[in-house]
Chains A and B, each alone.
Chain A
Amino acid sequence: MKAWLTALTVLLCSGLALALGGAMLALPEFAVRLPAQVTANLDTSGVSHPVTAVLLNFRGYDTLLEVAVLLLALLGVFALSRHADEHAPRATPAHPVLQTLARLLAPLMVLVAGYLLWVGAHAPGGAFQAGAVLAAAGVLLRLAGLLPAWAQPGRLLRGGLALGLLVFLAVAVAGLPQGSLLHYPVSMAGALILLVEAGLTLSIGLTLAGLYLASAGAKR
């Protein structure tokens, strides 16, 4: 690339940074007090942690669509890795120390994921963190050569991948007679959120692990 073009791009990007910074320093006071609104409605949300309440109750729509995006991305990765070598999904066995460590850590990580899922109702945690830990366990097992790559995910695996979205959709649609989509009855909100989060944890864990596992077996 020509040197003057590079210099111009760097100059324009620096200008953008300065403009953004200037805009932030000149921001007016908040027009809407969202934290106060969240605190005021926390009692009706079914959980006591504000971020979980926003994620799964007040702005549940975002989370619902996000899970759909995650599933779409995985479908894209599956579509692209279909040329993968289907009879060579077995990884070369890793070092015995790594294998032993992975065998010891994987059950603990599942335990931590369950804890994070449960604690999300009243402290930092929740379905995404729990799903990420589950996915990390899957990647670790794959790196240790204990888990085959997903050349062709079976029916059970596909069901697990879609479970979170389906449970969330079912809960969202079940609220329709009461007025609107994703409207939980106050008395059942806590249980419904836990149900949705349990489904989401499994699906997010499988999806994130799948993003890695689907292409890990591909031989070039």
Chain B
Amino acid sequence: MSAALLYALAGAALFAIGLAGLLLQPHLLRKILAFNILGSGAFLILVGLGQRDGIIDPVPQAMVLTGIVVAIAATALALALARQLLDLTGQMRLPEDRPDTEPADD
């Protein structure tokens, strides 16, 4: 097993961890962080698989560079949306994640 394949496998693990966090964490900030972990996993898979035979492929590297910038932009927009939700409702949770028997919990 080459080091590049190991990176790709670690990327798969990160992807699954991010996905689980996205589904399980009700707090929006944690969801955004989990989404970034998920994205990093995808980038690691792309770069790792792109050099698994020892020859470094510049095409996935360029795609990942593009992806990183888009991920930053998406994260900033998500943070702005979460902040807007906090301003309007005082909650950092989506309506379906709020326990409706309890009052505002944060």
Contacts and interface: CB of A to CB of B under 8 A. Distances in A.
A61 to B, nearest CB: 11
A155 interface: no
Nearest to A71: B73
A80 B69 CA distance: 20
B62 A77 contact: no
B19 A16 contact: yes
Contacts of B59: 34-35, 38, 54, 58-59
B61 A21 contact: no
A59 B67 CA distance: 13
A17 B37 CA distance: 14
B10 to A, nearest CB: 10
A81 B80 contact: yes
A24 B77 contact: no
A99 interface: no
Interface stretch (A6-14, A140-148, A167-175, A177-185): A6-14
Given A20-B15, A76-B80, A51 B65 contact: yes
A109 to B, nearest CB: 18
Interface in B42-63: 45, 49, 52-53, 55-59, 61-63
B5 interface: yes
B24 A6 contact: yes
A83 B87 contact: yes
Is chain A's interface secondary structure helix, strand, loop, or mixed overall? helix
A55 B16 contact: no
Nearest to A34: B59
Nearest to B99: A1
Given A53-B58, A73-B77, A66 B20 contact: no
Given A9-B24, A77-B80, A80-B83, A38 B58 contact: yes
Contact of B70 (A17, A20, A70, A212): A70
A27 B49 contact: yes
Residue among B23, B58, B79 facing the most chain A CB atoms (10 A cut-off): B58
Contact of A76 (B15, B56, B72, B77): B77
B29 interface: no
A13 B87 contact: no
A50 B58 contact: yes
B24 to A, nearest CB: 6
B70 A1 contact: no
A73 B76 contact: yes
B74 A73 contact: yes
Interface string A144-175: 00000000000000000000000000000000
25 contacts: A1-B24, A10-B20, A13-B19, A17-B17, A20-B45, A21-B13, A24-B49, A34-B59, A35-B57, A53-B58, A58-B59, A62-B66, A66-B69, A70-B70, A70-B73, A73-B73, A74-B76, A76-B80, A77-B76, A80-B80, A128-B69, A211-B73, A214-B80, A215-B83, A218-B83
**Would you list the 4 A-B pairs with minimal beta carbon distance, nearest first?**
A17-B16, A73-B73, A50-B58, A211-B76
